[in-house]
Amino acid sequence: MSKFHLQINGKNYPVDAPQDETLLSVLRNRLNLTGTKYGCGEGQCGACTVLMDGAATRSCSVPAAAAAGAKITTIEGLEEDGKLTPVQEAFLEEGAYQCGYCTSGMIMSATSLLRDNHAPSEEQIVTAMNGNVCRCGTYPRILNAIKRASGQDAGGAR
Amino acid sequence: MTTRELQPLSDVNRRDFLKFLGGGLLVCLSPISSVAQESGRAFGGHELPADISAWIHIDPDGHVKVFTGKVEVGQNIRTSLAQAVAEELRAPFNSITMIMGDTDLVPWDMGTFGSRTTPTMAPQLRNMAVAGRELLLEMAAQRWNTDASKLIADSGRIKTSDGVKSITYGELTRGENLVKSVAGDPQLTPATEWKIAGSPVPKANGRDFVTGKHQFPSDIVRPGMLFGAVLRAEGYNAKLESIDTSAAEKLPGVKVVRDGDFTGVVADDAFTAQQAVAAIKAKWTIPDQPSNQGLFEYLKSNPDGHSNPEHQSGSVTDAFSAADVKLECQYTIEYIAHTPLEPRAAVAEWEDGKLTVWTGTQRPFGVHEELMRTFQLSPKQARVIQPDMGSGYGGKHTGEAAIEASRLARAAGKPVKVVWTREEEFTWAYFRPAGLAEIKSAARRDGALVSWEFHNYNSGPAAIGTPYEVSNQLIQFHPAKSPLRQGSYRGLAATFNHFARESNMDEMAHALKMDPLAFRLKNITNPRLRAVLQAAADKFRWTGTKSGPDRGIGMACGTDKGGFVATCAEVSIDPSTKKVRILRVVQAWECGAIVNPDGLRNQVQGALVQGIGGALFERILFSKGRVENPRFSKYRVPRFSDTPKVEIVLLDRKDLPSAGAGETGIVGIAPAIGNAIFAATGTRLRHMPLTPDGDAVRT
C-alpha cells in the first residue's frame, strides 16, 4: 500500500492504495466517484476517460499513484454551480445517448478535443473520438453534439 | 421520494400501500383487459397481487407514480411510457414518475424483451390513466354538483368548460383513500389527437447521464460493502481437479468462499478481490469440444430434438423442378456477443433473513425467482431492484452476478458488490446463436417467385416466414445442440433469417436480370412493407444510382414484431486492397403510430449502427472450450469510423396501434451491405460477418 494525494475536481483526496491499482479503481471503488465507468480495463472503450491536466486519459490504464500531482477532472467536476458545460448541454440537446453508460467518457473525450481544437472538422472529431465505444450506436448524435458544442451547425441527425 | 424509501409492497396489502403512499387515488388494472397478455400472470407462490399488472398512483400533490415491472435499458421506455400516461391522464409530463423493475414495489412482469413494452404495457397504462381521468372528472362533478360530461380534464386539472371553476388532481385526491380497479378496455385517445404522446419529449432523466449522477447497477454502494470476485473455470465444461486457496487467504482482509462448485472471494476493496482470485491455484481438465472449425456441419448434424415445418404450402419439390430460374444457396452466421458496455453487476445485501439485490437485468422477476430457488427463499425474502442499466440488447436475461454477489454476501455477513470483467462478460454470459440456412428458391422468367424452401439450423425461428408472395413454401427451423451457451439477442434470429432471405432475393433478382427494387415490388403485396421499401428507395435515390466496380448499392427489407423496415446502402470498394467502406445508408421504418419520434429515430438508427458490427466483423472465436477473443482489443465493435452517413425515414401510421421498435431496425443492414458488395464486385458473400478479414472482400 502507498499513501498519496489526488487532486480531483479541485478537491484534495488522501488515498491509501496499492502501488499498481488503477486510477479508475480508486475513483470508483475507494472514492465513490462512480460517474467514471468501467468498460473494458484495457483502454479500448473510453468509458473510463478522465482529464489529467486537461488531456483525455484512460483511467483504467493509469496507476492512481502515477496520477498524484496531476489536476484530475471527472464527469462530476464539469458542472459548476448547477451550470452545465457546453459539451454537457449539447449532449442533452441532441439526445446523444441511449443507455447513457458511455456518456461520461464521451463527454470527457469531447471536452478534451474541444479544448485543443475549438472548431474540429468531422474527420478530426472521428479521429479524436474513435477510442470511445457506444454499443447503443448513437455515434451520429454524439458527432452532432460535439459540432453543436463547438458552435458549428449540427445539421440534425435527429 | 426514491423507490428505496418506499415500504416493500409484499408486506402490505393494496389499501395499506395506498395509505403508505400518503392517500390519494390508486388505479389498478385487472387482466380481463384484452391487452393484458403477458403481464400480471400469477406465478409459483408469488404473493404480490396476481390479478394486477400495473398501477398508477395520484398523490395529494398531484404527483403521479406509475408502477410497472418493465425496465429501462436504454430503449427510452421510461420516457415513452410516461408520455402515454400523461396523454391519457391529461397531466403534465413532468408530473409523472415511473417506478420500474423493483420486485417489491411493482406488479409481476415477465420481463423487458421481444419489443413487447410498447404494444402490451403502454395500452395497459393508458387504460388505467383513462380510468383515473374519468374518476377525477366524477369527483369534481360531485364536488361542484354538476355532470361530469360538462367538465374537462387538462394539464393536471379538472375545469368547467367555461373555465370558471378549476381544481388540480392533487386537490381532488387530498384526504381521499381510493382504490379503483379497472377491468375493461376504455376508449383511448386516438393518435391523431395526441398532444404529449407522439411528440419528441427528451429522455426523462437525461441530465443525470451528462453529469454522472445516475447510478447504474455497478455504481451502487451500500454501507459496509465489500467487493467480491469469482474463480472461473479455464474452459467450458471444465472439471476442477485440485485447488489451493492458501495464497489468496494470506492477502489482507480476504475471505475465500467455497460452496459446491462455486469458489469466490471477498475483500475490502475491488483491487484486492481481483488479486485474491488470481492467486488461487486451480487445476482443470477441459474435455474435447467443438470449435469454429466445422461449426456449421456440426450444427446440422447434431439436432436437438425433432422439429416440424413452421410453414408448408403447395409442393416445393414440384414447383422447384418445373421452374425457369432456380437457386440453391447456403448462408452461415457466427456466434456474436452482446457486449453491453456495462458488464453484469450486482450488489447483494442480507438483512434479517431478507435478501436485496441491485442488479442489471431485463428480467427482475426472473432473477427474483433464481434467487428464491438458489437460496430457498420465500417471495417475501428476496427483492430485486433494477436501476436503469448500461444496456442489454437481450444479453441480460439471467442473474449470474446477482447469485454470485448474494452467495458472497451471505458468507461475509456484509453487502457485497460483484462487477464482471469484460473478459468474464465475453466468456460467461451467453451468445447470439450461430447458424446455417439452406435455401432453394425458384421463379418464373417474368420475375414471379414460385417456390421457397428455407431451412434454418440452430440460429432460430424469429422472422423465418417470408413476406414475399410464394404459393409453394416449406419453411423449417431445426434446433441443434449448440456447443456454446446461447440465448436472446436484439432481434433474435430475425437478423440472420433476413440476411439469408434478402441476400437470396437479391441473387434471384440478378439471376432474372431484374432491378432488385422492381423484383421486390413484384413479389411483395403487403402495403406496409411496400411503403417502407418505396420510402427508402426514394430517399436513397435508388433509381438513377448506378453501381460500378468501386461503388455498389444494395437493398433489403423485412418485417418482424410489428415493425417494417427497408434499408438501402452504398459501399465503396478499394480497387487494390478490396476493403469495404459503407458510405451512406437510408433506412425507412414504420411501426404504427409513433409515440416519441425522437426516441424512435434514436432506436432505429442505433439498431442499424449496432448491426454493422455483426454484418461486417463481429464474431466469437473459440476452441478447446475457450473464447479466443474475449476483449475489445480482439473483438471488434462498431466505432465512429465505421459509421456511415445514416438517414432514417419514419412513417407515422396514426391509424395503426404502436408496435415496439427496439429490435427490428437491426435486420436490414447486413443484407443491404452484402448486396451492395455484390453489385460492385460480383462477389457474393453468404457468411456473417461479411468481411472479418481486415474489412476486405475475399472470394
3 state SS for B54-122: CEEEECCCCCEEEEECCCCCCCCHHHHHHHHHHHHHCCCHHHEEEEECECCCCCCECCCCCCCHHHHHH
Q: What is the mean pLDDT of residues B163-172?
A: 95
At residue A90's C-alpha, the angle toward residues A88 and A92, to 5°, is 75
* Domains of chain A and any CATH numbers: 2-77 (3.10.20.30), 86-149 (1.10.150.120)
What is the rounded CA–CA span in Å between residue B241 and residue B335? 30
Q: Of A100-109, A114-123, B110-119, B200-209, which gets the smallest average pLDDT?
A: B110-119
Contacts of residue B145, Cβ cutoff 8 Å, sequence gap at least 6:
none
Angstroms from B342 CA to nearest CA on chain A: 6
Residue where the block lists cell 475465500: B256
What is the mean pLDDT of the segment spanning B486-495?
A: 98
- As a dihedral over the C-alpha atoms of residue A70, residue A47, residue A29, residue B272, rounded to 10 degrees, the angle is -100
Domains of chain B, start order: 3-203 (3.30.365.10), 217-286+344-419 (3.30.365.10), 295-335+431-688 (3.30.365.10)
Interface test with B, best of A24, A94, A107, A136 (most B CBs within 10 A): A136
- Predicted confidence at residue B55, as pLDDT, reads 82
CA-to-CA separations, A52 to A56, A58, B277, B502, in angstroms, rounded? 7, 9, 31, 49
Residue A28: closest C-alpha in chain B: B219
pLDDT at residue B13, rounded to an integer: 56
For A87-103, what is the mean pLDDT? 98
Tell me B480's DSSP state: B
Q: Which helix (H) or strand (E) covers residue A156, if one does?
A: none
Q: What is the pLDDT of residues B252-287, one digit of tens each?
A: 999 999 998 899 999 999 999 999 999 999 999 999
Comparing CA positions, the residue from B366, B339, B397 lying closest to residue B613 is: B339
Asked if residue B689 has a cis previous peptide bond (ω within 30° of 0), the answer is yes
State pLDDT tens for residues B414-425.
Answer: 999 999 999 999
Chain B residues with CB-CB distance to A102 below 8 A: 341
pLDDT > 70: what percent of chain B?
93
The nearest alpha carbon in chain A to B345 belongs to A38
Searching chain A, which residue's CA lies closest to the CA of residue B632?
A: A44
Q: What is the predicted pLDDT for the residue at B185?
A: 75
- Region B53-59: mean pLDDT is 82
On the question of pLDDT at B4 being above 50, the answer is no
Residues in A touching B73 (Cβ below 8 Å): 99
Integer Cα distance of B491 and B482 in angstroms: 19
- Taking only the tens place, the pLDDT of each residue in B368-402 is 999 999 999 999 999 999 999 999 999 999 999 99
Confidence of residue A22 (pLDDT cuts 50, 70, 90): very high
Which residues of A fall within a CB distance of 8 Å from B632? Answer: 39-40, 42, 44-45, 133
pLDDT of residue B382: 97
- Cα separation, B463 vs B454, in Å, equals 12
- What's the confidence (pLDDT) of residue B620? 98
Whole-number Å distance between alpha carbons of B122 and B450: 41
B646 shares contact with chain A (CB less than 8 Å)? yes
pLDDT tens string B11-47: 445 556 666 777 788 887 765 433 333 333 333 333 3
Nearest chain A CA: its distance from B208 CA (Å): 9
Chain B residues with CB under 8 Å of A44 CB are 631-633
pLDDT number for residue A62: 98
Interval B528-536 mean pLDDT: 98
Contact B663/A at CB under 8 A: no
Based on its alpha-carbon atoms, the radius of gyration of chain B, rounded to whole angstroms, reads 27
Q: B639 and A139 in contact by Cβ < 8 A? A: yes
Q: What is the DSSP letter of B453?
A: E
Average pLDDT over residues B96-122: 91
Q: For residue A41, give the nearest of B207, B272, B421 by CB distance.
A: B421
Q: What is the pTM of this model?
A: 0.95
In this predicted structure, what is the pLDDT of residue B180?
A: 81
Residue with cell 429515430: B601
Q: Grid coordinates standing for A62?
A: 493509469
Q: What is the mean pLDDT of residues A106-121?
A: 97
In B403-422, the residues whose Cβ lies within 8 Å of chain A are: 419, 421-422
Chain B neighbors of A90, CB-CB under 8 A: none
pLDDT-derived band at B107 (thresholds 50, 70, 90) equals confident
- Residue B520 in this model has a pLDDT that exceeds 60: yes
pLDDT at residue B23 in the model: 78
**Yes or no, beta carbons of B640 and A99 under 8 Å apart:** no
Query: How many Å apart are CA B21 and CA B4, to the nearest integer?
Result: 13
The owner of cell 435486420 is: B667
- Pick among B602, B642, B649 to test the A interface (most A CBs inside 10 A): B602
Distance CA B79, CA B96 (A): 9
Q: What is the pLDDT of residues B221-232, one digit of tens each?
A: 999 999 999 999
The answer to whether the CB atoms of A103 and B76 lie below 8 A apart is: no
Q: Where are the beta strands (DSSP E) in A1-158?
A: 2-8, 11-17, 49-52, 55-58, 71-73
Q: What is the pLDDT of residue B399?
A: 97
Q: How many CB atoms lie within 10 A of CB B585?
A: 28
Q: Which one has a higher pLDDT value, B65 or B27?
A: B65
Residues of A whose CB is below 8 A from B602? 95, 98, 138, 141, 158
A101 touches chain B (CB under 8 A): yes
Residue B542 has pLDDT above 50, yes or no: yes
Which of B485, B371, B419 shows the shortest CA–CA distance to B264?
Answer: B419
pLDDT at residue B341 above 50?
yes
DSSP B141-167: HHHHTS-GGGEEEETTEEEETTSS-EE
A42–B422 CB contact, under 8 Å: yes
pLDDT band at residue A56, thresholds of 50, 70 and 90? Answer: very high
What pLDDT score was predicted for residue A158? 53
Question: Which chain B residues are Cβ-neighbours of A80 within 8 angstroms?
Answer: none
Q: Is B171 an 8 Å CB contact of chain A?
A: no
